[in-house]
C-alpha cells in the first residue's frame, strides 16, 4: 500500500496466513483513519422504481456508505483537480501502475447525445463488463449504482474531479442526475471493450462473476 495527498492504494491480494493477515489488518486500520478531501458520497438506495431514476433515491441518512465499504466491493476512488489532472504526477503514476493506456472523452446530455432518453434507459440497465469501468468526471455529475454482497443497490454520486473504477464482474448501472449533464474521461487497459452483459442474460457462473466473487471474498 502507498498513499498520496489524494489517494490510497491497497493491492487486491488474498491474505491466507496469520502473519500476512496481521499486516493486512494494520493496513486497513491505516486506511480507515486516512482523511480524504471532499470524499465521494454513497448510500443505500430506496426501492421506489416509480420515481425518476435521476432523483437521489436515498433510503435515509442512516444508510450512508463509507469509502472503506466501497473498497471492500472492489470500487476504487480518487480525487484530482480537473484543470491540472493530466499533469499531476499522482494521476500519471496511477495510470501507469494500473496499466491504463487508452483514453477518450464521453459527453452525455440532451443536446450532445442522440436519442438521449433512450440511451439513458440503456445505461440504467443492470449489467457487468469483462473489464474494469473507469471514469474521471471533467464536468457535470451523475450516479453509478453497484450491487453489494446482499444484492442491495448502492448509489455512488460522482462530481467534477471524482474518478471511480468499477471492477470487472460487478453488477452496476449508470444514470445522470437532475442536472442532465456529464463530461467524463474514459480510461482502458489496452483497446476499449464495450460489451455489456445484462444480468438477465448471464448466470453466476460467468467467468467475470466468478473472478469478482473470489476477489471480494478476500477483502
Does 57 belong to an annotated binding site?
no
- Mapping DSSP to helix (H, G, I), strand (E, B) and coil, where does residue 196 land? coil
What is the second-level CATH architecture of the domain 39-217?
A: Sandwich (2.60)
Does 206 belong to an annotated binding site?
no
Q: Would strands 133-147 and 162-166 be described as parallel, antiparallel, or unpaired?
A: antiparallel
Residue range 132-146: mean pLDDT, rounded:
98
Cβ contacts of 124 within 8 Å, gap of 6 or more = 53, 173, 174, 175
Q: Is the pTM of this model over 0.95?
A: no
Does 63 belong to an annotated binding site?
no
Residue ranges per structural domain of the chain: 39-217
pLDDT, tens digit (0-9, with 9 covering 90-100), for 16-36: 443 333 333 333 433 333 333
Three-state SS for 65-133 is CCHHHHHHCCCEEEECCCCCHHHCHHHHHHHHHHCCCEEEEEEECCCCCCCHHHHHHHHCCCEECCCCE
Does 172 belong to an annotated binding site?
yes
- Looking at residue 38, what is its pLDDT? 56
Amino acid at each position: 500500500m502507498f498513499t498520496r495527498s489524494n489517494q490510497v492504494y491497497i493491492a487486491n491480494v488474498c491474505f491466507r496466513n496469520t502473519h500476512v493477515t496481521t499486516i493486512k489488518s494494520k493496513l486497513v486500520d491505516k486506511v480507515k483513519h486516512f482523511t480524504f478531501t471532499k470524499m465521494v458520497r454513497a448510500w443505500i438506495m430506496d426501492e421506489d422504481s416509480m420515481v425518476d431514476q435521476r432523483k437521489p433515491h436515498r433510503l435515509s441518512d442512516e444508510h450512508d456508505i463509507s469509502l472503506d465499504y466501497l473498497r471492500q466491493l472492489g470500487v476504487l476512488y480518487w480525487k484530482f483537480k480537473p484543470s491540472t489532472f493530466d499533469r499531476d504526477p499522482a494521476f500519471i503514476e496511477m495510470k501507469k501502475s494500473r496499466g491504463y493506456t487508452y483514453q477518450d472523452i464521453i459527453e452525455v446530455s440532451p443536446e450532445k447525445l442522440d436519442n438521449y432518453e433512450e440511451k439513458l434507459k440503456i445505461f440504467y440497465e443492470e449489467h457487468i463488463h469483462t473489464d474494469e469501468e473507469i471514469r474521471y468526471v471533467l464536468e457535470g455529475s451523475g450516479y453509478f449504482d453497484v450491487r453489494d454482497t446482499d444484492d442491495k443497490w448502492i448509489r455512488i454520486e460522482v462530481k467534477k474531479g471524482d474518478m471511480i473504477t468499477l471492477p470487472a464482474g460487478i453488477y452496476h448501472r449508470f444514470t445522470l442526475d437532475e442536472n442532465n449533464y456529464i463530461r467524463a474521461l474514459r480510461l482502458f487497459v489496452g483497446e476499449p471493450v464495450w460489451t455489456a452483459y445484462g444480468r438477465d442474460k448471464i448466470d453466476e457462473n460467468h467467468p467475470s462473476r466468478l473472478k469478482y466473487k473470489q476477489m471480494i471474498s478476500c477483502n
